Amino acid sequence: MSAAIVTGASRGIGRGIALALAGAGWDVVVNYASNAAAAEEVAADVEKAGAKAAVVRADVADSQDRHRLVEEAYRAFGDIGLLVNNAGVAPSVRADILEAGEESFDRLVSINLKGPYFLTQLVANRMISAGTAGRIVTISSMSAYTASTNRGDYCITKSGLSMLTKLYAARLAEHGINVYEVRPGIIATDMTGGVKEKYDRLILDEGVTPIRRWGTPEDVGKAVVAIAGDLLPFSTGQVIDVDGGFHLKIL
């Protein structure tokens, strides 16, 4: 195994992915934007699992930070075999699309879409130069195709990540680099904590997901480990739904 960069790895889904990769033998670059203490805790847990960790503070929305993240990752481990674009934010305030402002839209596009787009470009070029047949995984959301009119900016960015995956999959296949989209559904994290009562009702009482439980960061981590372990070698541009069956159309 080589090393993986996991953006937004200090909490939630990113933490689950980092620990799952460590358990599978991957060294991990634990990226975070603001919560240094949480990132150090994740790094300690990675090392408890028997892997090596490097903690790098970087805002993926910032060009200089993206370049520094990549440089520090390669300096720490010499080679990067996996990039996981996980970092993302929700709107600070959910606002109807007829009233929503540009500030939130610009913030979400910068972090959720522009950041992964150009970070993927940087890592892909390094993989090509090094002759690394690496893997690139982008964590999107069921919001890539599910319209929530009180958080249109979030949905737009997640939909854009689906096309990011297709574009890079098409471009990088000739270099032996496969690209995947992992699309989580309703996952129990601090981001969904504020709507727990609503989703408890939808999942447990109304059966919005055929598998009647919340998803966990560990569920997403297992999907990433499958890709990292090269269990899908003849697939690229593939969407992997980790959503309890939410995407199914059921009569």
Domains of the chain: which residue ranges?
A: 3-241
CA 113 to chain centre: 11
Token pair in block for residue 126? 């390094």
Choose among 240, 113, 108, 244: nearest CA to 185.
244
Which class would CATH give 3-241? alpha beta
Helical H segments across the chain, by residue range: 12-23, 36-48, 63-77, 102-108, 115-130, 152-172, 196-200, 217-228
Active site residue 154: yes
Q: Which of 32, 117, 154, 168 is catalytic?
A: 154
DSSP for residue 109: I
Tokens of 242: 């980790």
The answer to whether 136 touches 172, Cβ cutoff 8 Å, is yes
Amino acid at residue number 208: V
Residue pLDDT tens, the chain, 251 long:
699 999 999 999 999 999 999 999 999 999 999 999 999 999 999 999 999 999 999 999 999 999 999 999 999 999 999 999 999 999 999 999 999 999 999 999 999 999 999 999 999 999 999 999 999 999 999 999 999 999 999 999 999 999 999 999 999 999 999 999 999 999 998 777 777 888 889 998 899 999 999 999 999 999 999 999 999 999 999 999 999 999 999 88
